[in-house]
Structure 1
Amino acid sequence: MNRVFIVGYGDIGQRVAQRWLQTDAEVFALGRNVDVADSAITPLRADLDRPQTLADLPTQAAVIYYFAPPPAEGERDTRLENFLGAVSGAALPRRIIYISTSGVYGDRRGAWVTEATAPQPDTPRAQRRLAAELALQTWAKRYDVPCVILRVGGIYGPGRLPLERLRQGLPVLRRDLAPPTNRIHADDLAHICQAAAAAPGMRPIYNVCDDQASTMSDYFIAVAEHAGLPRPREIDWQQAEAEFSPTMLSYLRESRRMDTSKLHRELDVELRYPRLEQGLAACLAES
Structure 2
Amino acid sequence: MRLMIFGAGFSGLAIARTLAGECDFAGGTTRSPERFSALQEAGLTPFIYQGEDLSDDLAAATRETTHLVMSISPDAAGDPLLQQFAAGLRTSMPKLEWIGYLSTVGVYGDHEGAWVDEDTPCRPNSKRSIARLAAEDGWTRLADEAGLPLAIIRLSGIYGPGRNALRTMQQGKARRLIKPGQVFNRIHVADIGGATALLARQRLGGIYNVTDDRPAPPQDVVSEAARLMGVEPPAEIDFETAELSPMARSFYGENKRVSNAKIKQAGYDFQYPDYHAGLAALYAEGSWQN
Normalised by the shorter chain, which TM-score bucket?
Answer: 0.7 to 0.9
Q: Which residue of 1 aligns with 2:147?
A: 144
Answering whether residue 74 of structure 2 is matched by residue 70 of structure 1, we say: yes
Which residue of 216, 219, 222 corresponds with 1:220?
A: 222
Query: Which secondary structure does the structure 1 equivalent of 2:62 belong to?
Result: coil
Answering whether residue 261 of structure 2 is matched by residue 264 of structure 1, we say: no
Query: Which secondary structure does the structure 2 equivalent of 1:180 belong to?
Result: coil
Paired residue type of 1:65? V
Answering whether residue 124 of structure 2 is matched by residue 121 of structure 1, we say: yes
Q: CA deviation at 1:24?
A: 4.4
Could you tell me how far apart the structure 2 residues matched to 1:163 and 1:99 are? 25
After superposition, the Cα gap between the structure-2 partners of 1:59 and 1:164, relative to the gap in structure 1 and judged at 3 Å, is same
Q: Which residue of 2 aligns with 1:211?
A: 213
Paired residue type of 1:91? M
8 Å CA contact 2:97, 2:148 repeated in 1: yes
Give the % identical residues.
Answer: 30
Query: Residues 194-216 of structure 1, C-alpha deviation per residue, up to 9 Å, x if partnerless?
Result: 01114566x40011111112122
Q: Which residue of 2 aligns with 1:18?
A: 17
After TM superposition, the score normalised by the length of structure 1 is 0.88
Q: CA deviation at 1:178?
A: 4.8
Between 138-147 and 101-110, report the one with greater CA deviation.
Answer: 138-147
Q: Which residue of 1 aligns with 2:85?
A: 84
Aligned length: 277
After superposition, the Cα gap between the structure-2 partners of 1:251 and 1:198, relative to the gap in structure 1 and judged at 3 Å, is same
Structure 1, unpaired ranges of 5+: none
Query: Residues 95-134 of structure 1, C-alpha deviation per residue, up to 9 Å, x if partnerless?
Result: 1101100000000001111111111000000001001100
Paired residue type of 1:207? N
Question: What do you get for the CA RMSD once the two structures are aligned?
Answer: 2.2
Paired residue type of 2:245? S
Could you tell me how far apart the structure 2 residues matched to 1:37 and 1:278 are? 29
Paired residue type of 2:155? V
Query: Which secondary structure does the structure 2 equivalent of 1:65 belong to?
Result: strand
Which residue of 102, 105, 111 corresponds with 2:108?
A: 105
After superposition, the Cα gap between the structure-2 partners of 1:25 and 1:232, relative to the gap in structure 1 and judged at 3 Å, is farther
Q: Which residue of 1 aligns with 2:156?
A: 153
Query: Which secondary structure does the structure 2 equivalent of 1:219 belong to?
Result: helix
After TM superposition, the score normalised by the length of structure 2 is 0.87
After superposition, the Cα gap between the structure-2 partners of 1:104 and 1:199, relative to the gap in structure 1 and judged at 3 Å, is farther
Q: CA deviation at 1:180?
A: 1.4
Could you tell me how far apart the structure 2 residues matched to 1:21 and 1:255 are? 36
Between 38-47 and 217-226, report the one with greater CA deviation.
Answer: 38-47
Could you tell me how far apart the structure 2 residues matched to 1:255 and 1:20 are? 33
Q: CA deviation at 1:226?
A: 2.1
Q: Which residue of 2 aligns with 1:237?
A: 239
Between 256-265 and 11-20, report the one with greater CA deviation.
Answer: 11-20
- Once the two structures are superposed, the pairs formed by residues 47-62 of structure 1 within 5 Å of their partners are 47=50, 49-51=51-53, 53=55, 55-62=59-66
Could you tell me how far apart the structure 1 residues matched to 2:246 and 2:166 are? 20
Q: CA deviation at 1:237?
A: 3.3
Q: Which residue of 2 aligns with 1:28?
A: 27
Could you tell me how far apart the structure 1 residues matched to 2:174 and 2:2 are? 45
Paired residue type of 2:49? A
After superposition, the Cα gap between the structure-2 partners of 1:131 and 1:67, relative to the gap in structure 1 and judged at 3 Å, is same
After superposition, the Cα gap between the structure-2 partners of 1:41 and 1:208, relative to the gap in structure 1 and judged at 3 Å, is closer
Q: CA deviation at 1:80?
A: 2.8
Q: Which residue of 2 aligns with 1:276?
A: 275
Could you tell me how far apart the structure 2 residues matched to 1:232 and 1:118 are? 37
Q: CA deviation at 1:55?
A: 3.8
8 Å CA contact 1:60, 1:94 repeated in 2: no
Query: Which secondary structure does the structure 1 equivalent of 2:22 belong to?
Result: coil
8 Å CA contact 1:112, 1:258 repeated in 2: yes
After superposition, the Cα gap between the structure-2 partners of 1:265 and 1:40, relative to the gap in structure 1 and judged at 3 Å, is closer
Paired residue type of 1:278? A
Q: CA deviation at 1:43?
A: 1.6
Q: CA deviation at 1:16?
A: 1.4
Could you tell me how far apart the structure 1 residues matched to 2:47 and 2:226 are? 39
Structure 2, unpaired ranges of 5+: none
Query: Which secondary structure does the structure 1 equivalent of 2:3 belong to?
Result: strand
8 Å CA contact 1:80, 1:132 repeated in 2: no
